[in-house]
Amino acid sequence: MNRREFILNASAFSLASCVHAQKVASTDKRHDESLAVIVSDCHICGDKKWHANDEMVKTLNQILALDPLPAKMIVMGDIAALVGLKKDYIEAKKVFKPIVDAGIKISWMMGNHDRRDVFAEVFPEWAKSSEVEGSIVHVVKMPSVDLVLLDSLDQLKKKNNHDGKVSDAQIKWLEKFGASTKRPFFVCTHHDGRQMKKFAQTAIGTSKLMRGYVHGHRHSWMLDALHDWKDGGRLVRSVGMPSAALWGDIGFVTLRDKGDYAEFKIYERDCFFPSPDFKREESWDVLRKENDGAIVKVLYK
């Protein structure tokens, strides 16, 4: 999605009162260490009038209704509404509190609508624990696979930038990681591998244990295959996430580590522009039904 498209869409959203993050009663549900949940493109607004805030709470309540609960959550960027304001991150902390209270460990990523320095003010511990200075980079370990969370925010001083870029420092770190790891891993960025084709090919080339690419940004459940033609050629699966709260495919995705492969499953609650100003179309329901419950398997070998 380019900048013009986003502005046109954003201008059409009506503002509505926010549904405050609700505390979900604690239960005796166990946490499944082989299960993670991925949400992306939250676009939470600190003014509490943005309709996406309400949708975000609905998505999180769906996740809290899972049994067993996932042990981990990955938030794949665009935490903030439009320009990464401090009040957006403060509100996000409130909205996600029931997830924390439920014992689910959250890992945060940067998207093009975020701002690292502002995010670091509200989530200093996550910024300080980054694997690469100046970026937000972490490794999430599951029983049989690692999720390498990179930072594709190309932050400009005076305007928002919808393009993605992975810094040279991150690439050097990833190459070292790929050369030393003994476990299969997925590379995760907010932007997709088609948009950052050169980087995607570099990522595939870091190790034969690099088995997949996971991204957000497009607000769509997207299935693709990325290629690197060097050394006889390699192909890895690419999986794009829905938006957790704004326009497009609305919902979340679970990742279950099955030991020798990963199983991605989409829970699509809706497919629409979340505003009363838009007349609902039958095609939105068709798309939702097609996507909801779809499963993708990505092999580790």
Q: Domain residue spans in the chain?
A: 29-299
Q: In sequence order, what are the beta bridge partners of 146? A: 141, 185
At residue 295 the predicted structure's pLDDT band, cuts being 50, 70 and 90, is very high
Check pLDDT > 60 for residue 200.
yes
Of all residues in the chain, the percent with pLDDT exceeding 70 is 89
Check pLDDT > 60 for residue 30.
yes
pTM of the complete model = 0.90
30 vs 5, 33, 66, 249, 265, CA distance in Å?
A: 42, 9, 10, 29, 20
pLDDT score of 212: 97
**Top-ranked range on mean pLDDT: pick from 3-17, 63-77, 156-170:** 63-77
Check pLDDT > 60 for residue 1.
no
CATH number of 29-299: 3.60.21.10
- Contact status, residue 73 vs residue 107, Cβ threshold 8 Å: yes
- Contact status, residue 241 vs residue 264, Cβ threshold 8 Å: no
* CA dist., res. 296 & res. 38, Å (int): 14
Half-sphere exposure of 7 (CA within 13 A, CB side): 7
CA 17 to chain centre: 25
- Contact status, residue 137 vs residue 173, Cβ threshold 8 Å: yes
At residue 213 the predicted structure's pLDDT band, cuts being 50, 70 and 90, is very high
Neighbouring C-beta atoms of residue 65, cutoff 10 Å = 11
Instruction: Burial-class residue 88 by CB neighbours within 10 Å (0-12, 13-18, 19+).
Output: buried
